Amino acid sequence: MHVLPPQNPDITITDNVLHFRAQGHGAKGDNIYEFEIEFLEPVEPKPVCRMTQRQLNITVQKKESNWWERLTKQEKRPLFLAPDFDRWLDESDAEMELKEKEEEKINKMKIESRVPKDPFRHLKKGYLIMYNLVQFLGFSWIFVNMTVRLFILGKDSFYDTFHTISDMMYFCQTLALMEIMNSLIGLVRSPLIPSVVQIFGRNFVLFVILGTLEEMQSKPVVFFIFYFWSIIELFRYPYYMLSCIGIEWKPLTWLRYTAWIPLYPLGGLAEAVCIVQSIPIFSETGKFSLGLPNPLNVTIQFPFVLQIYLIALFLGVFVNFRHLYKQRKQHLGPKKRKMK
């Protein structure tokens, strides 16, 4: 029965009887329309109603999922009641639909059984968990150590950061080379290029600039480089570690894909300052420069290489920034609804 449009419908089910009463415009004009339907077998006492501009849909759930000979208890169908053949489903149709679902489920199981299971999957997962745990503990030690020294010594802690922290930073950044290997052999789905850019960029500053120039090791910029690196990893490695065991902690996910927004550019800026400060020292000492005579018969000044690297550094920051922004949209952006 259609009431166009219904106003304040009163719909209840008591003693297995559906009671309907509403005011609207129908066959009798603007009037009050009401009816009762006593169902053949027991139904749930709470109907679900959905009202639109054109009609009112009432859904009544059976208490037991079985087939009825008819809808109402009385054998003769009420005159106002007509079947909706668009939704009509007889017993043979339902059996066919159930059979198709069972066949689809069986086919899916067959396909899954054909895919060979990786016998080393638990070993790989254990390795990734241990790797991320060790890196998290290493960078946590760096962060806590630097923070405590900053509170105790103040600005004086800037000048001996390298001598205090370098051994642990050497260990963590050397171990980070495994991330490139993990991506190459398919242990993780991380893209290769951003990993290579970040790891080789950091190791170039750590091993080539700071590790070979004693004059640079007492610069305050070392503190900021190490501090920004460690803060970023405090969120990244525990996020990956929990992902390995299928756990997502939303605050950590938000920090993982948000903290890099200020920290990554600041870390890149600190690395650039470090390189700029090292150029005069390399010019004066001639370290890593290639002079004549040599087999190539060319002169290569390392300070010039560093100037070229500065350009590559900012390009690398842009590449990783773009990659991280896409990841942030994927994990924290609004979910797209699937069209039905």
What is the rounded CA–CA span in Å between residue 134 and residue 125? Answer: 14
Question: Cα separation of 313 and 265, whole Å?
Answer: 11
Q: Which candidate in 264, 284, 309, 325 is catalytic?
A: 264
179, 227, 233, 271: the active-site residue: 271
- Using an 8 Å Cβ cutoff, are 187 and 124 in contact? yes
The tokens for 254 are 């938000």
DSSP H helical ranges for the chain: 91-114, 121-153, 161-175, 177-184, 192-203, 214-217, 221-244, 250-256, 260-285, 302-332
271 part of the active site: yes
- CA–CA dist 265, 138 (Å, integer): 23
The 10 Å CB-count burial string (b at 16+, else e) for 217-243 is bebebbbbbbbbbbbbbbbbbbbbbbb
Catalytic-residue membership of 248: no
Q: How many Å apart are CA 330 and CA 304, to the nearest integer?
A: 40
Q: Report how far apart, in Å, the C-alpha atoms of 29 and of each of 3, 23, 24 are.
A: 10, 10, 8
Active site residues: 264, 271
